[in-house]
Structure 1
Amino acid sequence: MEKIRLNESPIRTCEKFGVNDVVLEGFTVPEVIKAFDSVTIKSGETKLQTNAIKKEASLKYGVGDLLEEQVIKQSNQSYKIVINENQENVELDFDFQENNRSLVDYVEIIAEEGCKGTVILKYKSQDYENSPYEYYHNGICRIEAKKNSNVQVILVNLLNGKSRNFFSLESYVEEDAKAEVITVDFGGKSSVTNYYMNVAQNNAAGSMNSIYLGKEEQKLDINYIAHLNGRKSKIDIEVQGALKDQATKSFKGTIDFKTGAKYAKGNENEFCMLLSDKAKSKALPMLLCTEEDVEGNHSSASGKVDPKQLFYLLSRGFSQKEAMKLIVKARFSHIIDRIEQEELKEEVLAEIDKRLD
């Protein structure tokens, strides 16, 4: 067992705040990665390649060099997804089981010029309650949204409470294109995620929307970074979360207006609902700028459940546990509603109920 430091913020701040990076103690990155063959692919008419994938090295950021190198050299699942028709949808379900405990995956998503589609990557273990198994997931996803394309990528982490989840995402958005990333981050003893979006060209737009839910002694570390390079480019970051028991969360959100991004707009909002006195939330929102005539807004807050809301629901006959579930789902609703797939939406709502019992 060792101590590893991951997910560094792009700009360092005072060490005593404890948000520059995350330190995991008593954890060693697995050296041997066995086969993982429990994958369900729903690909429609999309061209899907599953072998001979050329893995690009050197992420701009990522959760850490050691984990990035493992994906490049040892991935046991690799996919290239090309969206070349409108309204194409792809879903890859990775089902962790007794004989499939370690997944190291590399996924490349390309939305061709003028095309539109949705890609869902779901990581789930069926044995959530009282599982004897510790699962390991380390993944990289690269997104390229070509001119005038529109791509939505939904990442869902429903692993059990003994798992380790690491995920790095990097995206590049061209002129008049739009890339939307939605994340549902519920699982893992620790979940460390790094999402970098380069809104690279004129009139390009990106959004990163996330919900997270921590319980017991879960440790979540979230690092969102957006670079605005094009004129009239735009980024929206919305993060909503809840923590109960002794769960902890660190959020780093950085919007960087680069030279040339005249008239660009960036918005960032993060809110954490504390469901116990022992849960802890840290946040570091940042705006960086080397260009004039831009608009940037950011906010971050945490707080307990509104006692008036809770009293109202209790007075209507709901138990305190059921009232808490309703309040959390109401807070998450505007992000969950962005998921158009009803079956997935219902699964996420059911998981909230289960994990708040």
Structure 2
Amino acid sequence: MKSILEKIKNINFKKNISETKNLSKKDIFKLTNKDEFTKIHKKYLNKVNKIILEKNEIKTIEISEYPKNNEFIHYLIKCKENSELTIILKLTSKESKEIFYRSAIYEIYQDKNSKINFIEYQNLSNNFINYNYKKSVLDHDAKINFYDFHIGSKYTNNIVLSDLNGKGSESRNYSLYSSKDNQIFEIKNESNHYNEKTFSDMINKSTVNNSSNTKYIGTVNITRNAKFSNGYQQSHSMILDDESKSESIPILEIDNSEVKCSHGATVGKIDKEKVFYLMSRGFNKKESKKILVEGFITDLLKKIKNSNLRTEIQKEVMKKI
């Protein structure tokens, strides 16, 4: 992590930075960390977007970002009572010899009985370092579903946090990471249960190939005030070669006996016997691996209702094999 921060500090942000837009800092930086990534983000912030849904409003927003320079973008999202928001965020960029840095922070507030579906598909080119921070604060019976699909960038640090403050609030994190060619993905998911009958679920999967590296940390924190709550997490990684590495760290912090919690983590190389069997049925080695990877990721891809986006993500993952 330290070497990445040093690399970021060596980038000339002032020389290559996107145009400053909508720069109002009112009401932001209230849910953020105080780490080095946030300090850099705050110093060079050049774009602020605000999304506000009124009571009972239902809205779908599609966002396509194509960064060409260093970018520091901040989203403030507020959903009022009984509103429902779907965000589909797609990130792509053009390959360049110059290293660029994209930093994005999303601060999300949900009033009671509101619902958010947040779908992010990140396929930045290999010259981008990508920092991504999302934090949601939920009132009574509010629900948020995060769908994170990360394929691109040289390095991605993706953090997704939920504070379940209201009784009956729910958070779900579904994520897929596919790395190749020395890519590094660091993932942190955290759900904090602060009230009764709250629910969280995390399912993370990754495929790693050709000297790439993924690290996942998932935390479920259930406080003494959060009785009758449920918290679950799973992390599974498929390693496709001998040089790649993957690490999974599930954490349960339970301060209440009247709850249900579980976690599971598997990290392992692709099953050679299954590869051999498929090859005996007429498939070559690469085709056999693709069949196994496709089966491994299908359950997460099925959660995407947009068939075109689902097909595109599947196609890009297959290119990593």
Q: TM-score, normalised by structure 1?
A: 0.82
| Deviation of 1:105 (Å) | 0.7
Q: Distance in 2 between matches of 1:157 and 1:114?
A: 29
In 1: Cα distance, 2:66 partner to 2:5 partner: 27
- Measured against aligned partners, the alpha-carbon deviations of 1:194-229 in whole angstroms (never above 9, x if no partner) come to 211111111111011100011111111111111011
Q: Could you tell me whether the CA contact under 8 Å between 1:53 and 1:79 is conserved in 2? A: no
Aligned partner of residue 8 in structure 2, secondary structure = coil
Deviation >6 Å, runs of 4+: none
**Is structure 2 residue 38 aligned with structure 1 residue 68?**
yes
Counterparts in 2 of 1:126 and 1:324: CA distance versus 1, 3 Å: farther
Flag structure 2 segments of 5+ consecutive residues without an equivalent.
Answer: none
> Which structure 1 segments of 5+ residues have no match?
6-22, 38-48
> Are 2:8 and 1:28 aligned?
yes
Say which SS state the counterpart of residue 4 (structure 2) adopts: strand
Q: 1:204-215 counterparts in 2 under 5 A?
A: 204-215=169-180
What is the SS of the residue equivalent to 1:355? coil
3-state SS of 1:28 partner: helix
1:253 is displaced (CA, Å) by 0.9
User: In the alignment, what sits opposite 1:95?
Assistant: 66
| Amino acid corresponding to residue 50 of structure 2 in structure 1 | K
2-side partners of 1:211 and 1:162: how far apart? 21
1:268 and 1:341, CA in 2 relative to 1: closer, same or farther beyond 3 A?
same
- The letter of the residue matching 2:13 is V
- List per-residue Cα deviations over 1:108-162 (Å, max 9, x = no partner): 22222112221122221144xxx42423111101122221111011122201223
C-alpha separation in 1, matches of 2:57 and 2:315:
30
Greater mean alpha carbon deviation, residues 306-315 or residues 208-217: 306-315
Once the two structures are superposed, what CA deviation does each residue of 1:37-56 show, in whole Å capped at 9, x if it has no partner? 6xxxxxxxxxxx95535252
Conserved 8 A contact 2:248-2:267: no
- Residue 153 of structure 2 is matched in structure 1 by 188
Name 1:326's counterpart in structure 2: 291
1:121 matched to 2:89 = yes
Confirm or deny: 8 A CA contact 2:218 2:233 kept in the other structure: yes
Please identify, of 85-94 and 298-307, the stretch whose mean Cα deviation from structure 2 is larger. 85-94
Identity among equivalent positions (%) equals 22
1:260-275 correspondence runs (5 A): 260-275=225-240
Aligned partner of residue 24 in structure 1, secondary structure = helix
**Structure 2 vs 1, CA of residues 60 and 138 (structure 1 numbering), >3 Å: closer, same or farther?**
closer
- State the superposition RMSD in angstroms: 2.3
Asked if 1 retains the 8 angstrom alpha-carbon contact of 2:159 and 2:187, the reply is yes
Q: Identify the residue that residue 263 of structure 2 maps to in structure 1.
A: 298
- Other-structure match for 1:140: 105
- Check conservation: 1:56, 1:72, Cα contact below 8 A: no
Residue 26 of structure 2: aligned partner: 54
**What TM-score do the two structures reach when normalised by structure 2?**
0.91
Aligned to 2:243: 278
Post-superposition offset of 1:265: 0.4
Q: CA 1:342–1:36 in structure 2 vs 1: closer, same or farther (change >3 Å)?
A: farther
Whether the aligned pair in 1 keeps the contact of 2:232 and 2:263 (CA below 8 Å) is yes
Once residues 75 and 288 of structure 1 are traced to their aligned partners in structure 2, the CA distance between those partners, rounded to angstroms, is 34
Match of 2:201 among 211, 215, 236: 236
What secondary structure sits across from 1:278 in the alignment? coil
1:160 to 99, 113, 125: 125
* SS of match in other structure, 1:326: helix
Give the C-alpha shift of residue 326 in structure 1: 2.6
Aligned pair count reads 318
Name the CA distance, whole Å, in 1 between partners of 2:309 and 2:51: 20
